[in-house]
Structure 1
């Protein structure tokens, strides 16, 4: 890991724990213990910093998924593990983080959602297709449509105007909307996998 990657990881951890709207350039410099010169070398301004952090977050997520997938042969379990990782990240993050990003850095939010969405669409589509081929998911599902539905479900979860973080537990919203939907996609073989997975989350 390079020094810049270390800084980005520290910033990602910091923002997840405390949110990001209240941070100034000087506070970032103080909290991650870098010089003003290093800040200016790495980042143009706070918006650029937040943008780089969220792109780093996407790359870290991809690496986490690759590691998870290396130990799994079941497409359905891979799909469910993605959901589990998402739940854990939401549970371990400041509830207002996504709302703060949307309101304070709207350009970064749009870029983050577009990049994340593109990656997630491709991944979900591939796993659904593999799940059908391996007999874990129903053969009559419309993979393209189900992928679209899942992505729209995700956009509902992270939209603070629909589920205000001060009123709803985002991880529980994620579980209620997304996890249980998957059951309806399962063939008999997949139902056992899903039931075992759900039981492990209790």
Structure 2
């Protein structure tokens, strides 16, 4: 691994654990095992490191969503796999990271907001179109409305006020919200796949 990539990997790990405000370039250099001068040779300042780090995280998400679209058999499998991926990412991410980026790094935050619209919301809409075409989602859904509702569901799941981490398991919250969402939009054919992918047992 080249030095720049190692620095970025270290920085992202520290940002995800501690947030961005309390992590210094010296902290990153020490944890990475290089001099602070070496860090500055690759990243002109901390803001550049934050910008490139966040963009790398967003690009990783985009790559996964694209691969998921290509490798899944149907829209419901795609939706569930995306949900599982988001849950796994959230478990490694201190919520303070997003809070601090939003508060102290507004330009970087705009990239996150653009991602939420251009990638997350767009992916939800495309999944709805796919599900309708496959006969798994109801035909006359108003896609713009339903997609925004799903995005709000996802945002609520990570809201510590709505679902405090000491009271709710994120995986269980996402499973319940996703099942509720799919049951609301699915055809009878789609309901059978919901049970399969979310391992929901029918009541006797």
CA RMSD of the aligned region, Å?
Answer: 2.8
Structure 1 unaligned spans of 5+ = none
Structure-2 change in CA distance of 1:62 and 1:11 (3 Å): same
Within 5 A, what are the aligned runs for 1:176-187? 176-187=176-187
SS in 2 for 1:93: coil
The CA deviation string for residues 1-55 of structure 1, in whole angstroms up to 9 with x for no partner, is 7653443233223322343331011111111233333322332322221221111
Greater CA drift, 76-85 or 17-26: 17-26
Greater CA drift, 74-83 or 107-116: 107-116
TM-score (norm 1): 0.81
Q: CA–CA distance in 1 between the matches of 2:149 and 2:171? A: 19
Aligned twin of 1:103: 103
Within 5 A, what are the aligned runs for 1:75-86? 75-86=75-86
SS in 1 for 2:17: helix
Structure 2 unaligned spans of 5+ = none
Deviation at 1:68, TM superposition (A): 3.1
Q: CA–CA distance in 1 between the matches of 2:27 and 2:68? A: 35
Aligned twin of 2:151: 151
Deviation at 1:178, TM superposition (A): 4.5
Q: CA–CA distance in 1 between the matches of 2:170 and 2:96? A: 10
Whether the aligned pair in 2 keeps the contact of 1:75 and 1:131 (CA below 8 Å) is yes
Greater CA drift, 14-23 or 48-57: 14-23
Structure-2 change in CA distance of 1:19 and 1:176 (3 Å): farther
Q: CA–CA distance in 2 between the matches of 1:6 and 1:61? A: 20
Deviation at 1:175, TM superposition (A): 4.3
Aligned twin of 1:36: 36
Higher alpha-carbon Rg:
2
Looking at both structures, which has the greater relative contact order when contacts are Cα pairs under 8 Å and sequence separation is at least 6?
1
Number of aligned residues? 200
